[in-house]
A and B are shown apart, each in its own frame.
Chain A
Amino acid sequence: MMNKLISKNVIYLVTVILLLTGCTKFLDQRPTTEVSTDLVFSDVPSVTKALASVYSRLVGDAGYGIRLSLYYPVDNDEMQGPTGAADNDRRDIARYSATSGNAQITNPFNQIFTGIEFANICIDNIPKMTMYTAGSDQEKKKLQRLYGEALTLRAQFYLEGIRNWGDLPAHFTSASNQAGANPFPAKTDRDSLYEKLLVDLKEASALVPWRNELTAIGDQQDERITKGTVKALRARIALYRAGYSLRKTGTMVQGSNAATYYQIAKDECNEIMNSGQHKLNPSFKALWKDQVCARTVADPDGELMFQASAIGRSGVADTKLGYYNGPTVNNLGNKSINVLPTYFYAFDSTDTRRDVTCAIYNVNADGVTKTGQTITAINDGKYRRDWITNPSILPTDAVQYLSLKWQIIRYSDVLLMFAEAENEISGPTAAAYNAINQVRRRGYGKSITTPDATVDLPAGLSKAAFFDAIVKERSLELGGEGIRKYDLIRWNLLASKLATTKTELLNMSNRVGNYANLPQSMYFKTPSTAEDVTLWSNSFYKAAPTATPTGTTKVVWISTAINSTALSRFATGFTTGKSELLPIPQPAIDANFNLKQNPGY
């Protein structure tokens, strides 16, 4: 009996043990509704979606939706940030008074690196895909394009990071490959970061097709990166590499071997210009009003070479362009970017770019009639709510995200970069003249390809004078596009230009020198729907009538308000050797003791 019992139990126990050994797999549970790396990097549509996440880090509140595009690039010698008291926030950034605890610095810093990480994941994985080497010809080409786009986006994020924060840790592979071995990465010198980006972009430009080659690989023409973008960005980075920046020593130092990098910039621009893939839209106003503000996808001229594309009407992946800046409609909008009176008067009265770049009105509740603004309340005008169509926004709609796409690189920038690089290498050659004059002719509403002595730069300029002309032309052409401050830094002109601007503003306020004869009042017509100079009944350049003409309303023009409203808040905290960079956000330093703060902070 006992034996029987024991044997019975032995059988039972053995069964249990067998069951258990069969259970080693029991503990191996895998996710079923979450998606693994293998699944994402298996075909073109999934990789395209992975790349959409990389692109999405360009936009949103912490990207070019508002902070990178509108908070950081002011104040400069064109425009300034909002009125109001110091706020340890956006106003302090504009006035160069930001501290490492400024909350508006943390998220953009983090978002740039999220973009880099997302790009790294694509860069690590796309070339490892079976399809990358064994797919159909079209699949391979599409994947090559996607890989090249990831390299280009990573370069764009790094450039934005370096020009705002200087040296940064090097992250050229995904965090899961890096964080374990080196959880507290130190900074890498920006010169070597730039060099790596230039190598990456060279690789990318070989993989990404020109815009007119897209249909051949089955892709559509849309907002995505093409070969022209890659090359233009490579030229831009080469110019930053060749230029000045604030180093960890606290001094402005030019990058080594500048000539090499001017050559790269020149060559890349030259290739774009010779490709015939990109040209200028004949009308500067149509470019902004009928293309950018109309949110068209089609770009027949190919002038819009790199756009941050907005969508979703939220802070995730949209922009506040036209709400935070630009004229208000029905009092909706922040009008937080103001054109400096000196910049307004930097334009020639016949330059068509003035009334596009500067909007001296707000739109009334009816959505069409205008109220003229004082000289200290001129709005920047390239991104205007009242120009938005597709779909248009009702005057009463309180929506703050208007889905305007931020323009990162335009073809006119390529022409001007070419002129600049050519001038640095060979002086003001005919090719350099031709490039800058194309931009000028379009700006003055002339035929782009026909030489025109009334608007072309005078011949025979010295190398230095030609450089000065480029400094001015870039401002007139690219004003309000988030480029000026960084241009001035790479030329080591920021401190002097800010100082000059302060002097000029004071002179204007006191109506001395060139400004003595400018009008003290301006009269805008009521009612009027005009959106340019025709809104006004008197000239911006001549003394104003003393009595208000009938059918007009008076606004104060050249007056001491320029001092008390504009100058009093203009770049007040600027300190050279410090303000050329933003402080590294405190949370980033708290989380990584190897990340050292920038000089002066």
Chain B
Amino acid sequence: MKKIVLTVLVSFLTLGIWAQNKNVTGQVTDETGAPLEGVSVSIKGNSKGTQTNKEGKFVISILANGSVVNFSYIGYKSVTKSVNSSDPIQVKLEKNNANLDEVVVIGYQSIKRKDLLASVASVNAKDLKDIPVNSAAEALNGRLAGVTATTAEGSPDAAIRIRVRGGMSITSDNSPLYIVDGVQVENGLSSIAPQDIQSIDVLKDAAATAIYGARGGNGVILITTKGGRKGKMQVSYNGFYGVKELSKRLDVLSPYDYVFYQSERSRGSSVDSLAFLKNFGSTWDTLGNYRNAVPTNWQNEVFGKSGVTRTQNLSLMGGTNKFTYNFGYTMNDDQAIVLNSKYKRNMFIAKTDYQATKKLKLGLSGRYSVQEVLGAGVSDDKGSSYNRLRNAVKYRPFLSASQDIEALDPLADPNVGNGLNLVNPIALANAEYRKKTTTNSNVTVYAAYQVAKNLTLKSTFGYDMYDYVDLKFNDSITPYSVLQGSRKPITGLDTSNRKTLTNSNVLTYSLKNFKDAHDFDFLIGEETYDLSTTNTFNLNKLLPSGSTPANSFTAVSPGVPFAGYPKRAETRYTSLSFFGRINYAYKDKYLFSANVRADGASKFAPGKQWGYFPAGSFAWRVKNEKFMESVNFISDLKLRFGYGEVGNNRINDYLYLSTFKNDGTYFYGINNQMVTGYSSAGLVNPNLQWESTQNKNIGIDISFAKRFDLSVDVYDNASKNLLLNVPIAPTFGYSSQLQNIGKTNNKGIELQLNAAIVKGKDFNWNANFNISHNVNKVVALGINQTSFYPSASWGVSGQPTDYIIKIGQPLGSMYGLVTDGFYKVSDFDYNPATSVYTLKAGVPTNVGIIGTVQPGSIKFKDLNGDGVVDLNNDRQIIGNANPTYTGGLNQQFSYKNWDFSVFVNFSYGNQVYNANKIEFTNGYTNNANLLSVMQNRWKVVSDLGMTTQWINSANQAVGMAPDVLAFINSNAKIWMPIKSSGAFYPHSWAIEDGSFVRINNVTIGHSIDSKKLARLKISKLRFYFTGNNLAIFTKYTGYDPEVSVAGSALTPGLDYSAYPKSRTFIFGVNATF
């Protein structure tokens, strides 16, 4: 270590000697007088400079006749001093909370925030430090105006849906473009540790994103990783250890209430009654015994254990004047709260820069990570039968006599309707094995050459490899095996390999302060992108019973492949682009920027491959006008106007080409043997194009009272040519064709306020607040098409759709029946002779939905007033997943060596479709438990066990006299559980207010006094405690209102079988040596 320090010092000294004749020493401190290490000290007009050491001290050579020395440090205002004597100088740097000098990365170059002409939101390392999480995407949630990061569910590798200003596309991928250190990387946030990130800049409007052309339509996220910096090697260690617990449980019926309901459910059906007698006892009196049954809380058993999260991060950074480096290693180890669920990740990162000659700078950086996720998770997109949460909620809430907790239930009925049989959730968790391994490697090289004064050419090459292996094993008791594998194990082995090669060449010319008035920037560039993917899919059934995951994934599987397997798919996508940008500023008062990009993409037919994306913006720095000079209250005021066109080409490859499938979709029996057929893959559309958006943005940036920076942006994004699978005349032989025909609109306003509320010697209080409002609307669909329905993603066969995409309505509109309480006795005519209840004339009937209607049946509104409730005429939009407002408030306090931060995020006005609630309160499946809300249901059995009403064999409702039923149910608050398949139909009762305020993160930290540390050779040492997801204030009755399980972009806000979220308590250390 000493050696390195010496070498570095010597090199500094020699450099100094080579340059000069007079040495000046000095010290740099912050406002409180504490020394600042690493402040860059440079001399104007000379590229040489130095940095302050641990004591804030420096030595620099100046010209004999004096020099202008500049002191700059990230997060502080720069100071310039004229030095002409060799007397030691003392410099105090003032903290810069206004962020205006912060450098912001925009496409292919970086500029100062104060010169921004576009809407850009940023998060930097300082903010990330307070959020000890394993995913940078998670850290973005609620921090940036106009950027939402929704975690689909609580699993450690859950997809995080990032949307910039709501997303424009209806059916295509709405993910933003990720650029890591200048190179496009698919889903860049998941392969980088938050600890390695220097800054994240999100480009929101077309004025900035149009430089990315056909890929910029969903916003661009630019990630800059930490690089080295001049100075001796700095070793940093960040580590944390945390404990996780389930943040909420759903209440279910007690054993006695459960058995009571099962008895009730069996009435009127000889089959069910027999099954009940067999399972639970013969007489009403014996049922009382279940009051003493020990309840088993399956939710606790399956995901109530405490989880553990561990992260260690080590980084080495430093460098000389010529060479800087940063190496990092991060290890994450998560034991999730769900049984058999684990997450492990190891990441390496390296970034080096080398000033080869005066004019040539080279850089090399690389990343490597391996991530392993164990556990089958909770949700499954194959359909309701395969989801697992239902077992933990609906499974019988006590153990059968002498039953082991992990044993299969001898009483369970495997032949229930729609394959919805319940399985012991512990046994199930042990019978399903899944391991997902992701390996990411990435290398980026650049060379920047200063061709002439102010003219630089930079070439960047990037290579990225993504390797994914997904092993699945379903033993014989799992629904998958039961329903599709003849109760023999099933194995799946999928692999995905993605290779990306990128190259960009950019020439920049910049001329500052020409004739004291003109600033001029010019950029021209070219870029190629080459993405190859290979996916393979293996799925085998009928493995020998007793197979294990360990002996099933051999090269030759002992099973039989499913029809159409194994499969292999290869694609290659190439694009070639040219782009340019001109920035011009007049006296720092009027700023203009214009850029254009031409994109050619292999995804489209020749002749349709090229697209052009122009954008322009203008800003007026009002503050620099004469009339504002005297307004001291306002330190900066800038108005921005931007307009541009961007595209989205995140669609599948080769869609314009006619191809044939041979994947087992179609086959025919010839000679009693299966012959698989070649079949047309679809009706191709040779005219396919990318989707495009016209974006208008007006913004204002204002700094006032020396403490506040406020940015407000108003935007209007009009998207067109959206790809839709439009229904076509089915007599062509296909149901739909992909066409560029949809239009949507996003309008919104967002506000970001950064405040340094208190700036003191000992106490500082900073706050960042943001709030956004976005209104989404579908403007056009296919010809003659006013709406379409995405297919239902859960439920039973014949499940009606639960979302609608309709012109004039937002995406994410939930669709269904309108709940209207339940039928009362007074809705029926009673025939005392036959005991038959018939609906009174004028009372609408539900018979088509739930079967025979009786007192206590759920009631839906007859919207068209025809007396019959049916799916065709009586459904409407019943919910909207889009929030009216989202935002967050982050507050950071520091007092002497203590720091404290609280981050709260919120969403207001969005609705969640609680599909769990529909399934968990219905009586469709035999022996299934119910949510405790059904305790107050309409009952059909008296307290003494008498059947008070039932459906007879002629499908009539029969029962005791109306006053008896009314008396027994005088306290009923909710309908009787539905037993028909209508029990799964979406209705407005399940649409809940998803507004929430979440105390997302609270951190308290203490830094040990640097003087005490000096002896330990430690320059910084901080301990902290953090609570993540500490509390949530919401009316939502499900696990968590921030949920969106389905893979489809068309059904946001669906809560069905989501992996429950956990609360985490973390202890961590940051140390720098």
Assembly CA distance A176 to B944 (angstroms): 70
Given A26-B576, A28-B602, A49:B662 Cβ within 8 A: yes
Q: Find the B residue at minimum CB distance from A223.
A: B670
Shortest CB-to-CB span from A245 to chain B, Å, is 19
B735 touches A110 (CB 8 A): yes
B730 touches A113 (CB 8 A): yes
A20 touches B576 (CB 8 A): yes
Assembly CA distance A333 to B963 (angstroms): 43
A50 touches B678 (CB 8 A): yes
Assembly CA distance A425 to B667 (angstroms): 43
Shortest CB-to-CB span from A449 to chain B, Å, is 31
Q: Which residues of chain A are near B942, meaning CB under 8 Å?
A: none
B452 touches A37 (CB 8 A): no
A541 on interface, CB distance cutoff 8 Å: no
Shortest CB-to-CB span from B274 to chain A, Å, is 15
B684 touches A590 (CB 8 A): no
CB 8 Å contact bits of B717-746 with A (1 = contact, 0 = none): 000000000011111111101000000000
Q: Within the complex, which residue of B568, B574, B731 is in contact with A592, where a contact is CB–CB below 8 Å? A: B731
CB 8 Å contact bits of A16-44 with B (1 = contact, 0 = none): 10001001001111111111110110000
A93 on interface, CB distance cutoff 8 Å: no
Q: Which residues of chain B are near A390, meaning CB under 8 Å?
A: 672
Q: Find the B residue at minimum CB distance from A35.
A: B660
CB 8 Å contact bits of B677-699 with A (1 = contact, 0 = none): 11111011000000000000000
Given A27-B600, A36-B658, A49-B677, A118:B731 Cβ within 8 A: no
Given A34-B660, A403-B669, A56:B569 Cβ within 8 A: no
B653 on interface, CB distance cutoff 8 Å: yes
Q: Which residues of chain B are near A121, meaning CB under 8 Å?
A: 680
Given A20-B526, A20-B576, A34-B659, A311:B672 Cβ within 8 A: yes
A137 on interface, CB distance cutoff 8 Å: no
Q: Find the B residue at minimum CB distance from A178.
A: B732
Assembly CA distance A224 to B563 (angstroms): 22
Q: Find the A residue at minimum CB distance from B680.
A: A121
A587 on interface, CB distance cutoff 8 Å: yes
A9 on interface, CB distance cutoff 8 Å: yes
B955 on interface, CB distance cutoff 8 Å: yes
A117 touches B734 (CB 8 A): yes
Shortest CB-to-CB span from B836 to chain A, Å, is 16
Assembly CA distance A23 to B574 (angstroms): 10
B407 on interface, CB distance cutoff 8 Å: no
B683 touches A59 (CB 8 A): no
Q: Within the complex, which residue of A27, A169, A295, A316 is in contact with B672, where a contact is CB–CB below 8 Å? A: A295
A52 touches B681 (CB 8 A): no
Q: Find the A residue at minimum CB distance from B451.
A: A9
Assembly CA distance A288 to B798 (angstroms): 35
B338 on interface, CB distance cutoff 8 Å: no
B675 touches A16 (CB 8 A): no
B674 on interface, CB distance cutoff 8 Å: yes
Q: Find the A residue at minimum CB distance from B359.
A: A5
Q: Find the B residue at minimum CB distance from A58.
A: B668
A297 on interface, CB distance cutoff 8 Å: yes
B452 touches A2 (CB 8 A): yes
CB 8 Å contact bits of B771-804 with A (1 = contact, 0 = none): 0000000000001110000000000001000000
A34 touches B681 (CB 8 A): yes
B666 touches A52 (CB 8 A): yes
A135 on interface, CB distance cutoff 8 Å: no
B40 on interface, CB distance cutoff 8 Å: no
Q: Which residues of chain A are near B677, meaning CB under 8 Å?
A: 49-56
Given A28-B606, A588-B731, A46:B678 Cβ within 8 A: yes
Q: Which residues of chain B are near A39, meaning CB under 8 Å?
A: 660
Assembly CA distance A222 to B673 (angstroms): 10
B572 on interface, CB distance cutoff 8 Å: yes
Shortest CB-to-CB span from B651 to chain A, Å, is 14
Assembly CA distance A168 to B955 (angstroms): 41
Shortest CB-to-CB span from B787 to chain A, Å, is 10
Shortest CB-to-CB span from B504 to chain A, Å, is 11
A184 on interface, CB distance cutoff 8 Å: yes
Q: Within the complex, which residue of A31, A36, A85, A312 is in contact with B674, where a contact is CB–CB below 8 Å? A: A312
B732 touches A317 (CB 8 A): no
Shortest CB-to-CB span from A174 to chain B, Å, is 8
Shortest CB-to-CB span from A292 to chain B, Å, is 13
A168 touches B731 (CB 8 A): yes
Q: Within the complex, which residue of A33, A117, A220, A588 is in contact with B733, where a contact is CB–CB below 8 Å? A: A117
A223 touches B452 (CB 8 A): no
Q: Which residues of chain B are near A27, meaning CB under 8 Å?
A: 574-576, 600-602, 606, 609
Q: Which residues of chain A are near B413, meaning CB under 8 Å?
A: none
Shortest CB-to-CB span from B234 to chain A, Å, is 38
Q: Which residues of chain B are near A59, meaning CB under 8 Å?
A: 668-669
Given A27-B600, A114-B733, A175-B733, A311:B666 Cβ within 8 A: no
Q: Which residues of chain B are near A176, meaning CB under 8 Å?
A: 658, 683-684
Q: Which residues of chain B are near A46, meaning CB under 8 Å?
A: 678
A255 on interface, CB distance cutoff 8 Å: no
Shortest CB-to-CB span from B660 to chain A, Å, is 4
A116 on interface, CB distance cutoff 8 Å: yes
Assembly CA distance A585 to B654 (angstroms): 32
Shortest CB-to-CB span from A425 to chain B, Å, is 35
Q: Which residues of chain A are near B737, meaning CB under 8 Å?
A: 179
B657 touches A31 (CB 8 A): yes
A32 touches B570 (CB 8 A): yes
Given A27-B602, A85-B955, A117-B680, A179:B728 Cβ within 8 A: yes
B675 touches A48 (CB 8 A): yes
Q: Which residues of chain B are near A175, meaning CB under 8 Å?
A: 683, 732-734
A109 on interface, CB distance cutoff 8 Å: yes
Shortest CB-to-CB span from A491 to chain B, Å, is 28
Interface residues of A in 423-452 (CB under 8 A from B): none
Q: Which residues of chain B are near A403, meaning CB under 8 Å?
A: 669
A40 touches B660 (CB 8 A): yes
Q: Which residues of chain B are near A223, meaning CB under 8 Å?
A: 669-671
A114 touches B727 (CB 8 A): no
Shortest CB-to-CB span from B862 to chain A, Å, is 17
Q: Which residues of chain B are near A114, meaning CB under 8 Å?
A: 733-734
Assembly CA distance A118 to B657 (angstroms): 17
Given A16-B505, A32-B570, A117-B733, A52:B676 Cβ within 8 A: yes
Q: Within the complex, which residue of A50, A109, A398 is in contact with B730, where a contact is CB–CB below 8 Å? A: A109
CB 8 Å contact bits of A561-594 with B (1 = contact, 0 = none): 0000000000000000000000001011011110
Assembly CA distance A193 to B553 (angstroms): 55
A101 on interface, CB distance cutoff 8 Å: yes
B872 on interface, CB distance cutoff 8 Å: yes
B674 touches A311 (CB 8 A): yes
Q: Which residues of chain B are near A185, meaning CB under 8 Å?
A: 729, 731-732
Q: Find the B residue at minimum CB distance from A47.
A: B678
Given A171-B731, A175-B732, A26:B568 Cβ within 8 A: no
Q: Which residues of chain A are near B452, meaning CB under 8 Å?
A: 2, 5
Q: Which residues of chain A are near B681, meaning CB under 8 Å?
A: 34
Given A49-B675, A311-B667, A316-B666, A595:B729 Cβ within 8 A: yes
Residues of chain B touching chain A, judged by Cβ–Cβ distance below 8 Å, are 415, 451-452, 457, 505, 526, 528, 563, 568-576, 600-602, 606, 609, 653-654, 657-662, 665-681, 683-684, 727-735, 737, 783-785, 798, 847-848, 870, 872, 955
Closest 4 CB pairs of A and B: A117-B733, A311-B669, A53-B677, A592-B729
Other contacts beyond A117-B734, A312-B669: 15, CB < 8 A: A16-B526, A26-B574, A27-B602, A31-B657, A32-B570, A32-B572, A34-B681, A52-B670, A53-B678, A57-B666, A113-B730, A175-B733, A312-B674, A316-B563, A390-B672
Q: List 11 A-B contacts (CB under 8 A).
A: A33-B569, A33-B570, A37-B660, A39-B660, A55-B668, A85-B955, A114-B734, A168-B731, A171-B732, A317-B669, A587-B727
Residues of chain A touching chain B, judged by Cβ–Cβ distance below 8 Å, are 2, 5, 9, 12, 16, 20, 23, 26-37, 39-40, 46, 48-57, 59, 85, 88, 101, 103, 109-110, 113-118, 120-121, 168-169, 171, 174-176, 178-179, 183-185, 220, 222-224, 295, 297, 309-312, 314, 316-317, 390, 398, 403, 405, 585, 587-588, 590-593, 595
